[in-house]
Amino acid sequence: MGGKRPSQMHKRATGKAAVYSRVSTKTNAKRGGVQRQSDASLHACRQQSLKVALSVAEVVSGSLPLDKRGVFQKLLHDCKEKNIKKLFVESTRAVARDANVTEALFQLSKKLGVSIIPSDVPDLFVHNPNPAQKFLRRVIAAATELEKNLAVQRLQAGLQLKLTLMKKAIANNEKFIGKKPVAMTQYGKAKINGRLSILQKIKKSGKLTSDMRLKIKRECNKYEKGKFGLRTLAETLSKALKKKARLGPETARRMVAEIKIV
């Protein structure tokens, strides 16, 4: 047939390797960030005929200081203990988004004899770099940190603008900013981030009737007067909201303050 023999198509693994993947939020994990990083690292392992003996993924900010990166440090120590010499990552971003932390983890890997290998720049963390390699490692780490800092700056500027508009709308008793409803915390302050509360969701859907609001206020008043505790309040509010599952005590406590402004 002229095709390749199996021995030519699949090289037998000749050594061990580890794989590390990191995303900063659970949302990124759900969107496939971990799987994408893992696939890139596994492909790099196969190219070097290595078998993955250890695989670790975590949801943690890459901007955290070294003492908060215990999982990665433990992984390096585990690699040394299991005699795994190569640790594959998708890119520098997976290691850290802070240049100092990136350098500290590199120095630890060097001390333990474990090579960190980004699939996009395999020689970036070589343990005995020439001057050009050392320069490139530090430049890329600094560029990764700069990219992160600029993104954070843009986000903070956007949130500040949104907060200013939200406060103005609340002061003017406006219910919408453009087509978006004005969101407030249970304490009546502008809410610019996070999910809507249960009460806000019901109100937004148009299902918060005057009768339902009255029942909630009545039960919250009873709680504030000490007639029953949070567990009973959670149960009565669940009935008033027609929820199938009972609300948690903490949710019920927040609703006591929130019902006064919703």
**Enclosing H/E stretch for 212:** helix 210-224
Contacts of 161 (CB under 8 A, 6+ apart): none
Contacts of 38 (CB under 8 A, 6+ apart): 19, 21, 55, 57
pLDDT at 159: 75
Q: Which domains does the chain have, with CATH numbers?
A: 13-144 (3.40.50.1390), 183-258 (no CATH)
- And the tokens for 183? 């969101």
pLDDT at 13: 58
- And the tokens for 40? 């890139």
Backbone angles phi, psi at 225, to 5 degrees: -85, 0
Q: How many residues does the chain have?
A: 262
pLDDT at 43: 94
Q: What span, in angstroms and rounded, lies between the C-alpha atoms of 233 and 235? A: 5
Contacts of 63 (CB under 8 A, 6+ apart): 96, 97, 98, 101, 148
pLDDT at 195: 65
pLDDT at 183: 67
pLDDT in tens, the chain (262 residues): 455 444 444 456 579 999 999 999 888 888 899 999 999 999 999 999 999 999 999 999 999 999 999 999 999 999 999 999 999 999 999 999 999 999 999 999 999 999 999 999 999 999 999 999 999 999 999 999 999 899 888 888 887 887 788 788 777 877 777 766 666 665 566 666 666 678 878 887 888 888 888 999 999 999 888 888 888 998 899 888 888 777 888 788 878 877 876 6
- And the tokens for 179? 């087509």
Q: What is the pTM of this model?
A: 0.65
